[in-house]
Amino acid sequence: MKWRREFEIAYVSLKQGEHHFNYKIEDSFFEHFANPGFNNSDIEVKMILDKKPSVFLLHFDIHGKAITQCDRCGDDFEMTLWDEFDHVVKLVSDSDVNLKNEEDPEVSYISRNDSLLDVSKLVYEYIVFSMPIQKTHGTDEEGNTECNQEVLDRLEKQTPHTTNKMWDALKKKIKKEK
């Protein structure tokens, strides 16, 4: 459990105000969570914890690179990760246990009796959220895709090029109206 101690913040001893934390995330971090779909990760997470009397304002700044598979051609490529996220942690009494069950993803609740704030799950979630929706190779200086052209050519040959009669009729109607 040594890895987790790095992500546990003893907030009781912190003074009010901003506190900065830096985390270097590599593949070993993801062994404790679900596979994020990439490897050879080199990610830096900068977190600012702004301590207030009954709330912590967390700001996550994520930058890094990882190797993933291209959704278009299937070859591996180096993907850039970057994003910023804000999260609120509210301190509540044990009698306010109903608040802990609220479904606001940007707010979490911890008991005033706790002394540690574990941010490992938040770090994992925000890294996964920083992944692009479509993971594809970039383009070169001339605007050409860097995907494996041989694979793209094979996909093009296998894609049926049929015409849809309904679309053809709609195109004719549009031409007539012009």
Domain ranges of the chain: 2-147
Over residues 96-120, the mean pLDDT reads 79
Residue 1 has pLDDT above 50, yes or no: no
Report whether 62 contacts 43 (CB < 8 A): yes
Non-local CB neighbours of 107 within 8 Å, separated by 6+ positions: 87, 88, 89, 90
Mean pLDDT of the region 108-117: 88
Residue 153 has pLDDT above 90, yes or no: no
Cα torsion through 65, 87, 23, 135, rounded to 10: -10
Q: Are strands 39-51 and 17-25 parallel, antiparallel or unpaired?
A: antiparallel
Q: Give the confidence band of 2 by pLDDT, cuts at 50, 70, 90.
A: low
pLDDT at residue 58, as a whole number: 97
Give the per-residue pLDDT at 52.
94
Q: Which helix (H) or strand (E) holds 41?
A: strand 39-51
Cβ atoms of residues 156 and 145 within 8 Å: no
Q: What percentage of residues in the chain have a pLDDT greater than 90?
A: 48
Residue 159, C-beta contacts closer than 8 angstroms, at least 6 positions apart: none
Q: What is the pLDDT of residue 140?
A: 83
Q: Are 49 and 9 in contact (CB under 8 A)?
A: yes
Torsion of the alpha carbons at 96, 100, 101 and 103, rounded to the nearest 10:
130
pLDDT level of residue 139 (50, 70, 90 thresholds) = confident
pLDDT tens track for 44-84: 999 999 999 999 999 999 999 999 999 988 899 999 999 99
